[in-house]
Structure 1
Amino acid sequence: KGCDVIIDFTSPASSLENLYAAAEEKKAIVIGTTGFSEEQLKKIKDLSKEIRCVLSPNMSVGVNVMFKVIRDMAKILADEYDIEIIEAHHRFKKDAPSGTAMKMAEILADSVKRDLLKVGVYARKGVIGERKKEEIGIQTIRAGDIVGEHTVMFGGLGERLEITHKAQSRDNFARGAVKAALWIVGMPHGIYDMQDVLGLR
């Protein structure tokens, strides 16, 4: 009760409980949890009409700059280059692909006007034939204590472009969350993300 903003990095169920508490106490909330179902996301959006909420799968400034860059790259390259996302995290991470990788896939699909439900490919095995041009691949690695790595690859004939973000500690997520908390206090009720916080729209 003695705060202005709640910062939440828990689990989907716990985040919803904290969101209800924030709404009841008229507090703002910053949520960095991933793995929400569509139904849970709808509840978050509905509740955010009553309070101020920043919801982002990744609070890192670098990752959010990467979100903007890959959107622009896709608009230029997607007609001639294949798009693949590779993400790697520690062995203890429970959801896959990561929320950040899924956000990247959504950004890329939206940028090139493709339906991610139809073109997203999450595994390849066996004799599957040639890669379809419209595919967006999202591949997952889980090993050791990797904090978080995300690479977006634009593969063409004769060349490829890759943009990678590597988190070396979790401190950058905490710094981003604090930045979001300071920003959200003065905003109208509604749901925002780190692109809004950083002025990247």
Structure 2
Amino acid sequence: MNAQSLRIGIAGLNGRVGRLLAEEVPAGDAILAGGTTRDGQKVAGIECPVYADIAELARHCDVVIDFTHADTVVPHATALTETGTAWVLGTTGLSPAQQQAVDAAAQKIAVVQAANFSPGVTLVTRLARQMAAVLPGSEYDAEILEMHHRQKVDAPSGTALAMGRAVAAGRGVRLEDHIESGRDGHTGPRADGAIGFAALRGGQIVGEHSVIFTSGHEQISLTHRSFDRRVYATGAVRAARWLSGRAPGLYDMEDVLGLDRPA
């Protein structure tokens, strides 16, 4: 499919990222085919069809970009599967059942799922996995520090958790078995092999993430700072264009960037 004929829809057109996506889709030589809002009403300054129903949007699109809410994931998975519409999913905080719905959809449609669509975050996360593979947990403590705007409702952030999973993958363990989050009071000494998280909130910080490895002799930090949410929008549009014509499957931003899969 020619990039200029690719029809992209936006779930949550009136959201913070949705509004940026409405600008970035035509800037990426694709067609803004429409969007959804909760009430189906037009969004000031955005000229495209608006629907209250995700299924109706999907019928008019080749790809839907979705930065909405975890509660919408299951109905969105159902609707997009029924219409055969590809899905770029940036919603985080999914429950196991919601993730299962995404996995099931990916057996029938092409899905790019990522906690963060920034190329820089993708590379930092990959580096964290590579470093964890050679810095043993018995010698190097791993901590993940993140800060976001005061309106953010989940902690740790989806990006922080993705970085934690990368560290766990590098060590060959499950994050759920080693996570330490929200320390408070007399917690006792840090457990060997723990993957720790600290979440800060304040002001209008778009997003800051650091993965820190500390031994008794040295410290290594990987840090990424987002200055503008537009980086997520441009990354998501890049993912949508990459998805065009792909076979069903569950992909991520490493696939979009053309990075080799780790052995």
TM > 0.5 fold call: yes
The whole-number CA distance in structure 1 between the counterparts of 2:176 and 2:87 is 30
TM norm structure 1: 0.95
Q: Report the residue type matching 2:129 in the other structure.
A: R
The 3-state SS of whatever aligns with 2:199 is strand
**1:67 aligned to which of 125, 135, 141:** 125
Q: C-alpha offsets along residues 116-146 of structure 1, whole Å, 9 cap, x if unaligned?
A: 2221000222333322221110111111111
Aligned to 2:18: none
Contact 2:129 2:168 in 1 (8 A): no
Q: Report the residue type matching 1:9 in the other structure.
A: F
Q: Which moved more, 1:57-66 or 1:88-97?
A: 88-97
Q: Report the residue type matching 2:229 in the other structure.
A: R
Count matched residues: 201
Q: Report the residue type matching 1:106 in the other structure.
A: R
The whole-number CA distance in structure 1 between the counterparts of 2:129 and 2:136 is 10
Spell out structure 1 runs of 4+ moving beyond 3 A: none
For the pair shown, the structure with the greater C-alpha radius of gyration is 2
The whole-number CA distance in structure 2 between the counterparts of 1:153 and 1:10 is 30
Q: Which moved more, 1:93-102 or 1:127-136?
A: 127-136
The whole-number CA distance in structure 1 between the counterparts of 2:114 and 2:251 is 8
Contact 2:168 2:174 in 1 (8 A): yes
Contact 2:73 2:101 in 1 (8 A): no
Q: C-alpha offsets along residues 124-177 of structure 1, whole Å, 9 cap, x if unaligned?
A: 223333222211101111111110111000011232111101000001100110
**2:79 aligned to which of 21, 25, 39:** 21
Superposition RMSD in Å: 1.3
2:173 aligned with 1:119, yes or no? no
**1:2 aligned to which of 27, 42, 60:** 60
List runs of 5+ in structure 1 lacking aligned partners: none
What is the Cα deviation at residue 21 of structure 1? 2.2
2:217 aligned with 1:153, yes or no? no
Q: Report the residue type matching 1:91 in the other structure.
A: R
Q: Which moved more, 1:129-138 or 1:161-170?
A: 129-138
Q: Which moved more, 1:115-124 or 1:4-13?
A: 115-124
Contact 1:9 1:15 in 2 (8 A): no
What is the Cα deviation at residue 49 of structure 1? 1.0
The 3-state SS of whatever aligns with 1:36 is coil
Aligned to 2:168: 109
The whole-number CA distance in structure 1 between the counterparts of 2:174 and 2:233 is 33
TM norm structure 2: 0.73
Q: Report the residue type matching 1:4 in the other structure.
A: D
2:232 aligned with 1:191, yes or no? no
**2:155 aligned to which of 78, 93, 96:** 96
Q: Which moved more, 1:22-31 or 1:81-90?
A: 22-31
The whole-number CA distance in structure 2 between the counterparts of 1:23 and 1:191 is 13
List runs of 5+ in structure 2 lacking aligned partners: 1-58
Aligned to 2:233: 174
What is the Cα deviation at residue 17 of structure 1? 2.6
Q: Report the residue type matching 1:140 in the other structure.
A: A
Larger RCO of the pair (alpha carbons < 8 Å, separation 6+): 1
